[in-house]
Structure 1
Amino acid sequence: MPFAVYLLGLAVFAQGTSEFMLSGLIPGIARDLQVSIPAAGLLTSAYAAGMVVGAPLMAVLSLRWPRRYALLAFLLTFLIVHVVGAITTSYDVLVVTRVVAALANAGFLAVALATAVGLAPPNAKARATSVLLGGVTIACVAGVPGGALLGEAWGWRSAFWAVAAALVPAVLAVLRSVPGGSPGSAGTSVRGELRALRRPRLLVLLLLGALVNGATFCTFTYLVPLLTGDTGLGAGWMPALLALFGLGSFAGVTISGRAADARPMRLLVGGGVALAAGWIGFALTAGSVVPAVVLVFVQGTLSFAVGSTLISQVLYAATGAPTLGGASATAAFNVGAAVGPWLGGLAIGAGLGFRSPLWVSALLVTVALAVGAVTRVVRTPDRSRAVEERRTYEAQ
């Protein structure tokens, strides 16, 4: 695998750290900028909203740009807004920087996916994609608790500076290693791909992804105040517990990668039921340390196993939209990442306590299960169709 692909993965790691690290920084941001915990939590929603808009928009716009210049533009924009975020004393400015960073992140992912696949050998497209997107999982394992540790030691602004610094080698790598040329998708058009995205099965899968990811971020955004408040754990434990959630997410992605192609229905239904039950169990036992710690790992595993499987099913269903299929999945999942913290914040703001996001998460997953059952769109395809769709997707 070309070394440049791993360096692109480093950039994805830095951007993933930025996206998720706020869960460990929210209390400090709220104190420093003199806003409420729910208002600080909305910074996660602002980022997700930018990803929702940016994923399809930047995927289309980047078709016209040389890859090297597009990647540099997105990376430098992401770096600059983190410097601004690190020095601002205004909550409103910080919100704007999160939206702009999300737009740049969405654009970078769109181009980086095409670049990584183009740099890899013809028979290693899936591996190149996994290396790139693996940066997000590593961000959950190391970057997010690392950001929380920096925030605890030197304040939340230090985490923003660290993200900016981590992008410098990625910028240099793009300058040295990434070839020019258009990242456009040959043989397709924007209009044709938009038509392909209208398939009912695909639309329902996107809805399910938004609901499941909304549940994940609803609780994850307020995990630190929940564990330090209701559970009674000290702030010094938070980096380790956020790393535990990240390890669960890595386990979930690994499980999905090994089982989702052959048995997606079993994983989605079984995992979805277990995920809903886990959120309910977490809400009921959040006052006890041992169950809470165990469920941090379990729910991270189940959330990413179900979510990753839904993404793979979207890609199979969107074979007629190779450029916008992945962008639509990104947008749908970030709709959930925006709505989830907002709903959790509403519940907290209504005086229902820090356990209330857990109940909202359980409700969102239950709704997803009901939608899947009613529409019957999530089913195991017959072997011939699965093989054909997989070959079509990998050939693009």
Structure 2
Amino acid sequence: MPLPILALAIASFCIGTTEFVIMGLLPEVAADLGVSIPSAGLLVTGYALGVVFGAPVIAVATAHMPRKPVLVGLAMLFVVGNLLCAIAPNYWMLMAARVFTAFGHGAFFGIGSVVAASLVPRNKRASAIALMFAGLTLSNILGVPGGTALGEAYGWRATFVAVVGIGLVSVAAIAWLVPAGIAQPSGGGLLGEVRVLGKLQVWLAMLISALASASLFAVFTYIKPYLTDVSGLSTATVTWVLLLFGGGMTIGNIIGGRLADWKLMPTVIGTLLMLALLLVGFAEFGAVAAVAVFIVFLWGLLVFVIVPPLQIRVVEAASEAPNLAATLNQGAFNIGNAAGAWVGGVALSLGVSYANLPLVGAALALLAVAVAVMSQTLDRQLLVTHAAQ
């Protein structure tokens, strides 16, 4: 792994741990701050909303600035944010600290993906983005369980202090290893960044990202009751199955980068089709415990095969000024997270059983396929038009 991308991966590990570790600490946070567990769960929602609203604000505010100082500043924002989380005296201060921290999330991954892509030859750009995102996937395997165990042993605040330490390492790594002058803003500045948002292909790419994410969270939000009630697994076993899901994510991330460098849109369309089929299989055979466990692993793999291609798709569609669009794509993923969880909840409230909930995810994946096919068709029409001129 090129050292500058390693620096970005360390930061993405820190950010991923920050985002997800709170889920394993909800009982401890709730007991310490005197709130209910559902209220503590809103700390997850607050972070997601911070990502969605913070991404465009930070991207616009930094559109004219050199990329390296921006990345250092965003990594430092996570250090300060996690420190504020660690010392928050009450629930609302912790909520404010979580939202503040989340403001840098989308911008870091958006700008970081543009920087990572600029560090390698054109035919390796998706793989470079995948390497940066490897830190995010590894956070689900190492950071979240490790942070949860630390919080259970020494209190939830100790987890955030540990993340502060990792964040400081990432700040130092970016400052030392990422070259100055890399992936500088376009000459058009903020106006150029906004202008590319007029491109249909940029919006189609972000819509695919949102639908793919919604397909995941419509089911994954309720994966614990699915695995216990439908597949018959114990609560302790579910923890290990979720680690297996994280392992699949890590493998899929690397595969997705390589496939996207080879055939970008066929990778997107083919993977989404396989996701839809897999979720149909989950609904059909999820009651068999061994099959369910294997499907969860494949699900994690396929879910992250799609991430590097979708990020590089946005970067390419907005190639003249990609920073704002790449950042907004991270917001699109998080909109999909929230929308998917909501759609899954509505389906359950309307009487859809846990056993059939994967069919909802499959339907959303097929919608993403339809949008991806439309996008590829537009590409081909454009090539034909250029050839005729």
Range of TM-score over shorter length: 0.7 to 0.9
Tell me if structure 2 keeps the 8 A contact 1:86–1:157: yes
Tell me if structure 1 keeps the 8 A contact 2:55–2:106: yes
Instruction: Report the alpha carbon displacement of residue 302 of structure 1 after superposing the two structures with TM.
Output: 1.6
Tell me if structure 1 keeps the 8 A contact 2:114–2:315: no
Q: Which residue is 1:75 aligned to? A: 75
Flag the 1:370–1:70 CA change in 2: closer, same or farther, 3 A.
Answer: closer
Which amino acid is the alignment partner of residue 160 of structure 2? Answer: F
Flag the 1:342–1:193 CA change in 2: closer, same or farther, 3 A.
Answer: same
Which amino acid is the alignment partner of residue 321 of structure 2? Answer: A
Q: Please state whether the residue corresponding to 1:309 is helix, strand or coil.
A: helix
Return the alpha-carbon distance in structure 1 between the equivalents of residues 319 and 366 of structure 2.
29
Q: Which residue is 2:280 aligned to? A: 280
**TM score, norm. by length of structure 2:** 0.80
Instruction: Report the alpha carbon displacement of residue 204 of structure 1 after superposing the two structures with TM.
Output: 1.9
Flag the 1:254–1:111 CA change in 2: closer, same or farther, 3 A.
Answer: closer
Which amino acid is the alignment partner of residue 260 of structure 1? Answer: A
Return the alpha-carbon distance in structure 2 between the equivalents of residues 314 and 108 of structure 1.
15
Return the alpha-carbon distance in structure 1 between the equivalents of residues 334 and 282 of structure 2.
24
Return the alpha-carbon distance in structure 1 between the equivalents of residues 200 and 137 of structure 2.
30
**TM score, norm. by length of structure 1:** 0.78
Return the alpha-carbon distance in structure 2 between the equivalents of residues 160 and 354 of structure 1.
34
Q: Deviations over 1:235-270 (max 9, x none)?
A: 444553232112211232233223234434443333
Q: Which residue is 2:329 aligned to? A: 329
Instruction: Report the alpha carbon displacement of residue 337 of structure 1 after superposing the two structures with TM.
Output: 2.1
Q: Please state whether the residue corresponding to 2:322 is helix, strand or coil.
A: coil
The correspondence for 2:376, drawn from 368, 375, 378, is: 378
Which amino acid is the alignment partner of residue 139 of structure 1? Answer: S
Tell me if structure 1 keeps the 8 A contact 2:108–2:327: no
Instruction: Report the alpha carbon displacement of residue 13 of structure 1 after superposing the two structures with TM.
Output: 0.9
Q: Deviations over 1:71-118 (max 9, x none)?
A: 444333322332333454754444333321111223433554566567
Matches within 5 A, 1:359-370: 359-370=359-370
Q: Which residue is 1:297 aligned to? A: 297
Return the alpha-carbon distance in structure 2 between the equivalents of residues 359 and 266 of structure 1.
23
Return the alpha-carbon distance in structure 2 between the equivalents of residues 224 and 212 of structure 1.
20
Q: Please state whether the residue corresponding to 1:260 is helix, strand or coil.
A: helix
Flag the 1:294–1:129 CA change in 2: closer, same or farther, 3 A.
Answer: closer
The size of the alignment, in residue pairs, is 382
Return the alpha-carbon distance in structure 2 between the equivalents of residues 92 and 115 of structure 1.
35
Instruction: Report the alpha carbon displacement of residue 138 of structure 1 after superposing the two structures with TM.
Output: 2.1
- Measured on the aligned residues, the alpha-carbon RMSD in Å equals 3.8
Q: Which residue is 2:95 aligned to? A: 95
Return the alpha-carbon distance in structure 2 between the equivalents of residues 40 and 354 of structure 1.
24
Return the alpha-carbon distance in structure 2 between the equivalents of residues 69 and 185 of structure 1.
12
Tell me if structure 1 keeps the 8 A contact 2:8–2:170: yes
Return the alpha-carbon distance in structure 2 between the equivalents of residues 88 and 224 of structure 1.
30
Flag the 1:377–1:336 CA change in 2: closer, same or farther, 3 A.
Answer: same
Which amino acid is the alignment partner of residue 332 of structure 1? Answer: A
Matches within 5 A, 1:233-382: 233-346=233-346, 358-372=358-372, 376-379=374-377
Q: Deviations over 1:26-75 (max 9, x none)?
A: 566567664355x5554434323222222232122223446565444433
Q: Which residue is 2:19 aligned to? A: 19
Matches within 5 A, 1:36-55: 37=38, 41-55=41-55
Instruction: Report the alpha carbon displacement of residue 336 of structure 1 after superposing the two structures with TM.
Output: 0.9
Which amino acid is the alignment partner of residue 168 of structure 1? Answer: L
